[in-house]
């Protein structure tokens, strides 16, 4: 019996070459084949008389083969089949390439339908590689809207159509995992109707409805997964942090500035969550420099005041040191007053700040001891914190910077390190992101997280002037950078790659080329700027292949003002805070995503001086200019994120290979109304059934969870 789970290799009559080709596309069973949806449709709905055909027209003609011949072109080694197709109005040539079997299929006098594009050749009008169906056949390839699929070697749209049509007929009515009431409320057809509409539609509108319904199912399953995760977390124990208003106000009073309104709102949301006996699962998003670290630090300090521990994880050592320095600067006195302690732990460094106000470098083993016995309250660092040697005794809060996914199981493992097998509370979780997340993604991909937003910059920040700089204006831009340096300001120069493109190899053969070969490289640009453009200035270099000690020394020199210009890769994208830096120059800016460009720009404008972002580009295309102009005109990072989603799509925004989200869902992530409908349907279903879902839905949910990897 044929089902959606039937392997294609188990179906009689399917060519092994097609099965192998589909396997290369990740398609192995009936479900995968039917969800391999058409990319577009050729409209052969109107049959035309041959005499009425026009150049450029895509048409179907019904006639017979008057003449057919085959020849070979020696220059290109192609087999060419030429036929004359005739109907009652006239005749037209048809040409096929490398299809010699047609000599047996299309004998003279053969009637049928021929569908293709009308072109002009030396001898007049011609049908170019038309699709053929015999007269008695049901139109699959030459009538109505014909689906055109993503193809690969050995797998053509015609071959896929041959497979899909009989399989759909054999399946009949397919059981639907989405409740009928949810589909009715959303105005969508059932799964069987949707598949037929997507593959063999009567109209483009019907095709879009079918695809919309198929995408809705994935959105619905994702929302169910998110909501079930929330329900499960709400039943887990966590360490409540019994902070008081007086303690919070003591920390606020210690700050040398007043929190913005949105900082205060975010802080209140977080503090209310961590006071509860169930785990918080929250995302704190805000523009670069909006003050997320201060909010997180206050939550960590209030936990420390009550003997509880916090782990603050950063993606890079540079950012870990930045967080540590910020917290020590703002709250070192409070940590000492409350007899608490904090530590920095990276792959190459370990420092501890004791309650008595002393800071010193210590062995990592010493930090591990203090963490295990509960006397070390705040640990800041990279994922070195997660090493097996580090076991927390009372871990109440995990804050992760620029990593929105840190799973329940990962947190439970970290929280339970102190006593293997013991049932200990799961830590509260807070993710920080300076990459604004579009509304549809926050409702779906990050839908299991509560959301706090800091949408204001601290008082006194000046808007950053952003300019697109074509090559013709490069000299003028360099003059501006030199003038700023002479006034005591500093500049970043960002390049997309570290090393230059490879030259010819030792044997004199040309190296493989790519579209990245012409972009600026840090090492080359450092040499050029230091020796030829700015020999009178102090220029440094920073990239990911440098040793940790070298990177730390370079950043120390730049932060202290010993360097005027820092040439770097995207290693500075996150966490670099140099208030005196007022220029961000980005080479080949069109090669970066908008979110990444926004992060780069946020590295300047953090001091009292007017800052500028210079977008160097050689790309004159309209698309490149549209993207860079969006960076110039967007009012804030959240507006820019929405534009980035529309311009690049969610696959680029998220990193499709990192999420495992189905192709059918990716386009739907732009559709806010469909996302809301899926969420409403998931809520309704959970309210009706709770954790015990109908068997078919439960099975599909389990399969869906295994297929994605958001964590």
Tokens (6 digits) for 281 = 């699962």
Of the two residues 405 and 251, the one the predictor is more confident about is 251
The C-alpha angle 280, 281, 284, rounded to 5 degrees, equals 110
At 617-652, the pLDDT tens digits run 988 888 788 888 888 887 677 777 777 776 666 555
Task: Give me the numbers of helices (H) and strands (E) for the chain, helices first please.
Answer: 25, 22
173-187, 345-359, 630-644, 668-682 — which one is most confidently predicted on average?
Answer: 173-187
Check if the beta carbon of residue 218 is closer than 8 Å to that of residue 700.
Answer: no
- Under 8 Å CB-to-CB from 635, ≥6 apart: which residues? none
Pairing of strands 91-97, 78-86: antiparallel
* Residue in 359, 246, 247 with CA at minimum distance from that of residue 303: 247
pTM across the whole model: 0.70
Q: Is 72 exposed, middle or buried (0-12, 13-18, 19+ CB in 10 A)?
A: exposed
What do you get for the CA distance between the two ends of the chain, in Å?
37
The pLDDT-based confidence of 221 (bands split at 50, 70, 90) is: very high
Specify the pLDDT at position 388.
Answer: 67
Is the pLDDT confidence value at 561 over 70?
Answer: yes
Angle between the 204-233 and 191-199 helix axes, to the nearest 10 degrees?
140
3-state secondary structure 146-184: EEECCCECCECHHHHHHHHHHHHHHHCCCCCCCCHHHHH
- Greater confidence (617 vs 356) lies with 617
| pLDDT range class, residue 511, cuts 50, 70, 90 | very low
Distance CA 207, CA 200 (A): 8
* Cβ pair 240, 200 in contact under 8 A: no
Helix axes 408-415, 204-233, angle to 10 degrees: 20
Closest CA to 274 of 314, 301, 313: 301
Neighbours of 236 (CB within 10 A): 14
- The first and second tokens of residue 649, run together, are 């799509």
**pLDDT digit string, tens, across residues 362-382:** 888 888 899 888 889 999 988
Sign of CA dihedral 191, 193, 199, 204: negative
Instruction: Copy the structure tokens of residue 65.
Output: 């083969």
Per-residue pLDDT at 205? 93
Q: How confident is the model at residue 418 (pLDDT cuts 50, 70, 90)?
A: very low
Give me the DSSP letters along 612-669: EEEEE-----HHHHHHHHHHHH-SSHHHHHHHHHHHH-HHHHHTHHHH---HHHHGGG
The whole-number pLDDT of residue 506 equals 44
CA distance linking residue 554 with residue 548, whole number of Å: 10
Q: pLDDT tens digit string along 234-290?
A: 888 999 999 999 999 999 999 988 999 999 999 999 999 999 999 998 889 887 778
Q: Are 564 and 590 in contact (CB under 8 A)?
A: no
Residues shown for the chain: 711
35 burial (CB, 10 Å; 0-12 / 13-18 / 19+) is: middle
Residue with tokens 């360099």: 478
Once rounded to an integer, what is the mean pLDDT over residues 280-308?
90
The answer to whether the beta carbons of residues 679 and 629 sit under 8 Å apart is no
Q: Which stretches of 547-604 are assigned E, i.e. beta strand?
A: 565-568, 581-586
User: Alpha helices of 281-348 — where are they, by DSSP H?
Assistant: 292-305, 317-337
Query: How much is the pLDDT for 302?
Result: 97
Of 180, 196, 198, the closest CA to residue 188 belongs to 180
pLDDT above 60: residue 106:
yes
pLDDT in tens, 53-87: 888 888 888 889 999 999 888 777 788 899 999 99
Helix 292-305 with 317-337: angle, nearest 10 deg = 50
**Amino acid 514: pLDDT:** 44
Per-residue confidence band for 507, with pLDDT thresholds at 50, 70 and 90: very low
Distance between CA atoms of 542 and 554, rounded to whole angstroms?
7
Calpha distance 414→101 (Å, rounded): 64
Maximum C-alpha span of the chain: 101
Q: What are phi and psi of 686, to 5 degrees?
A: -65, -35
Q: How many other β-carbons are positioned within 10 Å of the β-carbon of residue 622? A: 7
Can you list the domains of the chain with their CATH numbers? Answer: 40-148 (2.40.50.140), 245-454 (3.40.50.300), 465-500+515-635 (3.40.50.300)
At which residue do the structure tokens 């806010």 appear?
Answer: 672
Q: Are strands 565-568 and 539-542 parallel, antiparallel or unpaired?
A: parallel
Whole-number Å distance between alpha carbons of 58 and 119: 9
574: confidence class by pLDDT, cuts 50, 70, 90: low
For 677, list phi and psi in degrees, rounded to 5: -65, -40
What is the reported pLDDT for 513? 42
Query: Within 13 Å of residue 74, how many CA atoms lie on the same side as its CB?
Result: 0
Q: Could you give the angle at the alpha carbon of 590 between the alpha carbons of 589 and 591, nearest 5°?
A: 90
Q: 137-146, 184-193, 324-333, 626-635: which range is least confident on average?
A: 137-146
DSSP string computed for 666-683 = HGGGG-HHHHHHHHHHHH
In this structure, of 108-117, 139-148, 251-260, 587-596, the range with the lowest mean pLDDT score is 139-148
CB atoms within 10 A of CB 402: 18
Asked if 706 contacts 688 with a C-beta cutoff of 8 angstroms, the reply is no
Instruction: State both tokens at 289.
Output: 């420099």
Residue 339 has pLDDT above 90, yes or no: no
Which structure tokens are listed for 139?
């139109």
pLDDT tens figures, 650-686: 555 554 444 556 666 666 777 788 888 999 999 999 9
d(CA 434, CA 376): 28
């Amino acid at each position: 019996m044929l089902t959606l789970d039937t392997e294609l290799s188990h179906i009689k009559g399917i060519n092994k070459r097609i099965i192998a080709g589909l396997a290369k596309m990740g398609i192995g069973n009936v479900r995968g084949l039917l969800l391999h949806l058409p990319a577009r449709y050729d409209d052969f709905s109107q049959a035309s008389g041959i005499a009425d055909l026009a150049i450029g027209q895509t048409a179907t003609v019904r006639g017979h083969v008057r003449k057919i011949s085959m020849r070979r072109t020696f220059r290109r080694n192609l087999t060419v089949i030429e036929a004359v197709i005739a109907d009652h109005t006239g005749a037209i040539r048809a040409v096929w390439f490398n299809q010699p079997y047609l000599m047996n299929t299309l004998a003279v006098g053969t009637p049928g339908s021929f569908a293709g594009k009308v072109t002009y050749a030396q001898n007049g009008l011609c049908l170019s590689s038309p699709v053929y169906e015999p007269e008695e056949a049901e139109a699959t390839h030459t009538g109505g809207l014909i689906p055109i699929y993503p193809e690969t070697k050995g797998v053509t749209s015609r071959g896929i159509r041959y497979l899909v049509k009989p399989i759909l007929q054999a399946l009949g009515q397919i059981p639907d995992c989405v409740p009928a009431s949810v589909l009715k409320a959303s105005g969508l057809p059932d799964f069987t109707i949707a598949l037929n509409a997507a593959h063999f539609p009567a109209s483009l509108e019907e095709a879009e409805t079918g695809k919309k319904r198929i995408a809705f199912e994935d959105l619905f399953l994702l929302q169910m997964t998110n909501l079930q995760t929330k329900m499960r977390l709400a039943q887990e124990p966590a360490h409540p942090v019994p902070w008081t208003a007086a303690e919070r106000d003591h920390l606020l009073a210690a700050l040398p500035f007043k929190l913005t309104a949105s900082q205060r709102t975010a802080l209140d949301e977080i503090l209310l969550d961590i006071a509860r006996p169930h785990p918080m699962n929250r995302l704190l998003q805000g523009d670069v420099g909006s003050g997320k670290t201060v909010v997180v630090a206050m939550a960590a300090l209030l936990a420390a005041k009550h003997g509880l521990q916090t782990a603050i994880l950063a993606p890079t050592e540079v950012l870990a040191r930045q967080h540590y320095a910020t917290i020590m600067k703002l709250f070192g006195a409070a940590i000492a007053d409350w007899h608490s302690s904090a530590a920095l732990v990276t792959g190459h460094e370990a420092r501890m700040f004791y309650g008595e106000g002393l800071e010193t470098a210590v062995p990592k083993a010493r930090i591990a001891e203090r963490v295990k016995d509960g006397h070390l309250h705040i640990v800041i660092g990279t994922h070195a914190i997660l090493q097996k040697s580090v076991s927390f005794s009372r871990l109440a809060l995990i804050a992760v910077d620029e990593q929105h996914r840190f799973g329940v199981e990962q947190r439970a493992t970290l929280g339970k390190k102190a006593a293997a097998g013991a049932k200990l509370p799961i830590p509260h979780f807070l993710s920080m992101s300076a990459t604004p997340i579009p509304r549809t993604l926050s409702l779906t991909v990050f839908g299991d997280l509560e959301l706090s937003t800091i949408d204001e910059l601290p008082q006194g920040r000046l808007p950053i002037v952003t300019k697109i700089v074509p090559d013709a204006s490069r000299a003028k831009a360099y003059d501006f950078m030199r003038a700023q340096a002479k006034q005591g300001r500093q500049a970043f120069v960002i390049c997309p790659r570290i090393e230059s493109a490879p030259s010819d190899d030792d044997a004199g053969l040309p190296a493989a080329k790519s579209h990245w070969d012409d972009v600026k490289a840090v090492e080359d640009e450092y040499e050029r700027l230091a020796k030829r453009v700015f020999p009178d200035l102090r220029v440094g270099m920073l990239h990911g292949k440098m040793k940790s000690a070298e990177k730390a020394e370079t950043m120390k020199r730049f932060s202290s003002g010993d360097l005027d210009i820092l040439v770097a890769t995207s290693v500075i994208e996150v966490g670099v805070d140099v208030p005196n830096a007022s220029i961000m120059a980005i080479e080949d800016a069109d090669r970066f995503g908008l979110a990444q460009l926004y992060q780069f720009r946020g590295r300047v404008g953090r001091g009292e001086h007017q800052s500028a972002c210079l977008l160097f580009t050689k790309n004159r295309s309209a698309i490149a200019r549209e993207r860079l102009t969006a960076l110039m005109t967007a009012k804030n990072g959240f507006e820019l994120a929405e534009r980035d989603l529309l311009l690049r799509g969610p696959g680029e925004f998220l990193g499709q290979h990192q999420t495992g989200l189905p192709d059918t869902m990716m386009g739907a992530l732009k559709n806010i109304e469909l996302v809301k409908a899926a969420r409403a349907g998931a809520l309704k279903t959970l309210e009706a059934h709770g954790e015990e879902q109908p068997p078919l839905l439960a099975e599909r949910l389990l399969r869906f969870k295994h297929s994605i990897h958001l964590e």
